[in-house]
Amino acid sequence: RIVVLDFGSQYAQLIARRVREQNVYCQILRHDLSAQRIAELAPKGIILSGGPSSVYEDGAPRCDPELFKLGIPVLGICYGMQLACEALGGKVANATSREYGHASCEILEHSNGDDDLFAGLEDSIDVWMSHGDQVSQISEQFSTLAQTSTCPFAAIKHDSLAVYGMQFHPEVTHTPQGGQILANFVRNICGCEGSWQLSDFAEASIQKIRQQVGSKRVICGLSGGVDSSVVAAMLYKAIGPQLTCILIDNGLLRKNEQSLVIDEFTNHFKTDLHVVNAEDKFLASLAGISEPQEKRRRIGHDFIECFKTEANEIEDAHFLAQGTLYPDVIESGADPDGPAATIKLHHNVGGLPDELGFELIEPLRDLFKDEVRRLGLELGLPESLVWRHPFPGPGLAVRCLGEVTKDKLVVLRAADAIVIEEIEAAGLYRDTSQTFAVLLPVQSVGVMGDARTYDNAIAVRSVNTDDFMTADWSRLPYDLLARISTRIINEVQGVNRVCYDISSKPPATIEWE
């Protein structure tokens, strides 16, 4: 495996994913992990990520300098390169101008051996820069491998240690040959074979689940989302009849969602499925509440209560399976060697396992979302389920702005179904990451036939994103937007206006509440 030490880079996960694309297992660890602990983990290579700090600032995050002497190849990216240079006798300074964006990078040295970071590349490549500081002087033990017009040390290599650095970001798609550079590092320089396969991983996890569970029973909440479906599919493969799934219909699901989940799931897996119809309970506790956090809190609370009641009915239930993904593990600080928590992610069922006294099973905690989707396909889940857009735990409640009522949900559900139908008909469902309708808490004046109307407004939201941490609004074709608008206004009673949300995240978020 390869480890990435995270210095607060927004791209650390992207680095890990790019490495995994080489079929090499990759883990993100805290930046200050001791060289001794790293040696125990015995990775084949270490990547130092970028980060927002300056190496010459007080309190700037640093790595253990001993790690450069472990004999394990190290690649420093941006801030990581500056750290490596500083630790090994170079100088870092504020660049005369901040550099952000494309640059043309001239490769000065091809060794053509196993240690060639730029093997297979032309002498000039496009790269993506994003930095304020840069290395201004390298020690005698380093040689320069590449330069740009503003950055004399765009890539460097230590003469006797296997320590490399690059000022640009090979992990972003704006560095088109970045994948090849990282492949050269992990395959040639670190000597990874590239034999990490998702199918082997799945098989090993299934064996592990069998051992852990023995003859006990596992319960698994099913939401219709890809994560919980893949968890259930994996458990079904591992322990079949010892699995019970629970689907709580809180009245906040999308059109036909309950029957879709039941059909798609039970068609593929003959698992024990309990469906709890809890619409009345949820809508009663949401009555009169318009503050978004309070809405979420109440939904979370009701969810726990429902789940508890249902789980108590299931004999011998000892384990609870959850669809926690690798980004959740990293972000929540749950891994003792992992980086410190940065942004707290949403949790559907806060505190549930503890309160219920279950042991947890989290078979996806080493995987990224795209890997989970691939795993779902390998496990035989239908494409329609595997490629569904994410849907938040609090469901339509956070898209029905202000107070949630049954009548408003009817309007929102109908509008949302049209948005999805049209985006699918245009063949763009897979090209957008998340697309949905939002019911705004405003009325506006319109004219229909010859009559004045004073009705609701729907906002359509569609975003493209890799990781849902940042997102851009989707450039949907005008014709498609026109069809969506016309259909919603004609077919959904109570709507006379449709807007398209053209905000990116940040500063907006994907959901409106």
Q: How far is the CB of 394 from ligand XMP (least distance, A)?
A: 5
- Residue 385 makes CB contacts below 8 A (sequence gap 6+) with 226, 229, 264, 265, 376
Shortest gap between Cβ of 434 and ligand XMP (angstroms)? 5
Q: Is the CB of 170 or the CB of 392 nearer to ligand XMP? A: 392
Q: Return the number of the residue (484 or 510) whose C-beta is nearest ligand XMP.
A: 510
Judge whether 151 counts as a catalytic residue: no
Examine residue 511 and tell whether it contacts ligand XMP (CB under 6 A).
yes
User: What's the distance, CA 498 to chain centroid?
Assistant: 30
Residue type, 171: E
Among residues 158, 169, 371, 422, the one annotated as catalytic is 169
- Specify the amino acid at residue 72: I
Note whether 327 binds ligand XMP by CB under 6 A. Answer: no
Which of 301, 344, 346, 430 is the binder for ligand XMP (CB under 6 A)? 346
Task: Give the integer Cα–Cα distance in Å for 52 and 260.
Answer: 45
Instruction: Return the ∠ at Cα 112 (arms to 109 and 113), rounded to 5°.
Output: 115
The residue among 203, 279, 210, 278 whose CA lies nearest residue 241 is 210
State which residue, 376 or 394, has the beta carbon closest to ligand XMP.
394
Q: Which stretch binds ligand XMP (CB under 6 A): 26-34, 35-43, 184-192, 385-393?
A: 385-393
In the complex, minimum distance from the CB of residue 298 to ligand XMP, in angstroms, rounded to a whole number:
12
- Compute the least distance from the CB of residue 392 to ligand XMP, in Å: 3
Does the protein bind ligand XMP through residue 468 (CB under 6 A)? yes
User: 434-448 and 451-464: which strand pairing?
Assistant: antiparallel
The contact pattern for ligand XMP, residues 185-214, with x = CB under 6 A and - = no contact, is ------------------------------
On whether 226 is known to bind a ligand per the annotation, the reply is yes
Q: Which is nearer to ligand XMP, 81 or 398 (CB)?
A: 398
- 173 vs 509 by CB, closer to ligand XMP: 509
Size of the site for ligand XMP (CB under 6 A): 13
Q: Answer whether 90's CB lies under 8 Å from 137's CB.
A: yes
Which 80-119 residues touch ligand XMP, going by CB under 6 A? none
346 carries an active-site annotation: no
Tell whether residue 510 is a contact of ligand XMP (CB under 6 A). yes
Among 9, 134, 348, 496, binds ligand XMP (CB under 6 A): 348
Q: Which of 26, 78, 151, 245 is catalytic?
A: 78
Quick check: 221 binds ligand XMP (CB under 6 A)? Answer: no
Question: Which listed residue (393, 418, 422, 460) binds ligand XMP by CB under 6 A?
Answer: 393
Alpha carbon 397 to chain centroid, angstroms: 23
At residue 215, what is the residue type? Answer: S
Q: Which of 179, 353, 390, 441 binds ligand XMP (CB under 6 A)?
A: 390
Residue 474 annotated as lining a ligand binding site:
no
389 as an active site residue: the answer is no
Alpha-carbon gap, residue 303 to 251, rounded angstroms = 12
Alpha helices (H) in 214-316, listed in sequence order: 226-239, 257-268, 279-286, 292-312
Structure tokens at 415: 């509008």
Cβ of 158: how many Cβ atoms within 10 Å? Answer: 20
> Is residue 323 involved in binding ligand XMP (CB under 6 A)?
no
Is the bond preceding residue 43 a cis peptide, omega within 30 degrees?
no
- Distance CA(110)–CA(113), nearest Å, equals 8
Contact 121, 145 (CB under 8 A): no
Q: Burial code of 353-381, b = ≥16 C-beta within 10 A, e = fewer?
A: beebebeebbbbbebbbebbbbbbebbeb
Q: Which tokens in the block code for residue 402?
A: 């202000």
Alpha-carbon distance of 259 to 6, in angstroms, equals 43
Q: Does 387 bind ligand XMP (CB under 6 A)?
A: no
69 counts as binding ligand XMP under rule CB under 6 A: no
What binding mask, one character per residue, do residues 421-450 give for ligand XMP by CB under 6 A, x or -?
Answer: -------------x----------------
Give the sign of the dihedral formed by CA 106, CA 108, CA 112, CA 117: negative
Annotated binding site: 223-229
Q: Which residues are catalytic?
A: 78, 169, 171
* Residues at the interface with ligand XMP (CB under 6 A): 296, 346, 348, 390, 392-394, 434, 468, 505, 509-511
